[in-house]
Amino acid sequence: MLVLVCAGFLAHRHWPVIEAGAGRLAHADRGWLLVAAVATLATWACSALAQQGAVPEPLPAGRLVVVQFAAASANHVLPSGLGAGAVNLRFLTRCGLTLTRSATALAVKACAGTVVRACLIGGLALACPGALRPPRLTASAWTVAGWTAVAVVAAVVAALLAGPLRRLLRRVLLDVRAVHELPARAAALWGGSFAFAALHATVVVTVAQAVGLPLSPARVALAYLVASSAAVLLPTPGGLGSLDAALALALTLAGAPGAAAASTVLGYRLLTVWFPLLPGLVALGVLIRRRVL
């Protein structure tokens, strides 16, 4: 709630820029917006492909894609990915997997997505030298940041060494091994995860092209990947407020005008969140009535 209040305050403070961005989006290139819409539709198929790759057992393909569409909408009403996780967990258990194996399948998919996103950020950072610059801090600030990072890593290691988490980690590793023993499943897991992240970046890039954002596609994609990774630290429903602010800031720092950055963020959120939200919730209700979930 605090993040949403701060986002509302910032939106009110910068409302002229947002209004100018909305007007610019209204006159954007329709061809590029159509490409962005097609890329948005493909993200759900890629999410389904990655989820299939996370389990050795075959899943019903058609239902799996519809479930990803419904899960995306559920994700926008619950914080920090809980909506999508709950929907996919229920679907996997309905397909005959145990609760533990369903949870580890979600963990495998999440880990693959994190690795792919880190690789994309690294590759784009190399392709755009100087685009990612560390903040200018004093020596004492860097020391504090270093010790804080060490403390966080130590806490994570201690938690993983605890009994329940150690058993869960062992289960995840066994599932990862089982998936990678099947080349088709491994290709689906990593290919779907890569395509999912790349297509979301493509949506931002094509919207930026539609509104005439004066940045190269590589820099726009890098700004999106970094901003979306940072927004995860603020667990708002669907990144509402946190992702919008982070992406607008990243585009502005990269050299985009405020109005163009605002219209890019607005167009991306309309295509990936607001337009599919109601149809996705309807699909979720239908899946529940038919006991798919």
pLDDT band at 120 (very low <50, low <70, confident <90, very high): very high
In a domain, 233, yes or no: yes
* Long-range Cβ contacts of 10-13 (<8 Å, 24+ apart): 10/245
Place 80 in a pLDDT band, splitting at 50, 70 and 90: low
pLDDT reported for residue 132 = 66
Look at residue 283 and tell me if it is in a domain. Answer: yes
The tokens of 107 are what?
Answer: 């963990």
Average pLDDT over every residue of 123-132 = 80
Domain of residue 41, residue span: 29-130+182-289
Residue 68 belongs to a domain: yes
Residue 17 within a domain: no
Cα–Cα distance between 160 and 171 in angstroms, integer? 13
41-78 residue pLDDT tens:
999 999 999 999 999 889 999 999 999 999 988 888 77
Rounded CA separation 179/47 (Å): 16
Q: What is the pLDDT of residues 3-35, one digit of tens each?
A: 567 667 766 776 676 666 677 777 788 899 999
Q: Which of 82-86, 118-122, 126-130, 179-183 has the lowest mean pLDDT?
A: 126-130
The reply to whether 177 falls in a domain is no
Burial of 248 (0-12, 13-18, 19+ CB in 10 A): buried
Residue 7 inside a domain? The answer is no
Residue 171: pLDDT band (50, 70, 90) is confident
Average of per-residue pLDDT values in the chain: 83
87 in a structural domain: yes
pLDDT in tens, 219-245: 999 999 999 888 877 777 666 777 888
Distance CA 290, CA 222 (A): 41
**For the segment 272-286, what is each residue's pLDDT rounded down to a tens digit?**
988 888 899 899 999
- The pLDDT value given to residue 246: 86
Say whether pLDDT at 137 is over 60. Answer: no
pLDDT of residue 217: 92
Confidence category of residue 129, pLDDT binned at 50, 70, 90: confident
Query: pLDDT value at position 162?
Result: 62
Contact 235, 80 (CB under 8 A): yes
Q: Could you give the CA distance from residue 231 to residue 5 in angstroms, rounded to a whole number?
A: 16
In a domain, 277, yes or no: yes
If one counts the domains in the chain, the total is: 1
Q: Would the pTM of this model clear 0.85, i.e. be above it?
A: no
What confidence score (pLDDT) does residue 7 get? Answer: 64
